[in-house]
Amino acid sequence: MTVALPGLEILGRPLDGARPDGVYLGPGGFSGWDDGVEMRRETVQRVAAAGDFDATGYPDARIVSLSGVIASPSEERTQYWMDRLTGVLNDGSMGRITVGRADVTRFATAGLVRTTAEARKHAPSRADWQMQLWCPNPRKYGHLNQEVSANDGSFITTHSGNARALTRFVVDGTGDRWRITGPGGRSILVTQPLRSGSPHEYDMLTGQLRVGGVLTYGGIETADTWSIPQARTLNHTLSVQGGSATATAYTFDTYL
């Protein structure tokens, strides 16, 4: 098992036959990643009746806790690893946490809550450490699914995760306007002209439109939102006025 963070890779154990030299997870030193997350909802009690009114729940942020040992050939080398560890995300920025197990890799975006590292008094080439990360978006992402529209504009979106997934659409070609129609007649209508070599990218997660890679404001007439249920396939159609284009749908396997 490995946990990759900006500027540091944390190992589950030393490499086979190698002398310990790095940051390692301890037994039970990785929690919050495989767990589900708490649901938050506003609850209102029923007056003169049992229970509460129905309320939609929303997944809360994910907290990931890591701990273990730093081991190296010398006290100076251990101090180097301690500095590397306490330098992770210490500018307040967000970064990617990538967890690899065998052939399965998943990632999320995280910020630092706190890090502690302390060398052992009687064995200064060893240090104990702890780290806590905050994932404001609790979703974890895996394999990226890519689907391209056919000549008639039809295409599907799918994923193999256990949570609802959101798709990023890239439309490339020419036209005065384009529309992607999804389930239940919901659609995205973009009136920004589409020019060859300057594809449009619409992300369902953010609701933002990029033209030729540049964030663009305006030009979106309809912006319905839908998501792909767990391990399901949805049908879509691209239609273009005043030209022709191809849509490519990118959807990560999404987990909670």
CATH number of 141-255: 2.60.120.860
Longest dimension (CA), the chain: 76
- What whole-number distance in Å separates Cα of residue 250 and Cα of residue 147? 7
Q: Where are the domains of the chain?
A: 2-138, 141-255
How far apart are the C-alpha atoms of 181 and 224, rounded to whole Å? Answer: 9
Q: What are the average pLDDT values for consecutive 10-residue runs of the chain, which has 256 residues?
A: 96 80 95 94 91 91 98 96 97 98 95 97 95 97 97 96 96 97 96 95 95 93 94 94 96 96
pLDDT for the residue 184: 94
Beta strand 94-101 pairing with 140-148: unpaired
pLDDT score for 17:
67
Instruction: Determine contact, residues 224/166, Cβ cutoff 8 Å.
Output: no
Instruction: Report the pLDDT value the prediction gives residue 142, as an integer from 0 to 100.
Output: 97
Q: Is the CATH number of domain 2-138 3.30.300.30? A: no
89 three-state secondary structure: coil
* Strand partners for 67: 130
pLDDT of residue 60: 96
Phi-psi region of 185 (alpha: psi -120 to 50; beta: other; left: phi over 0): left
pTM, to two decimals: 0.89
CA atoms within 13 A on the CB side of 107: 12
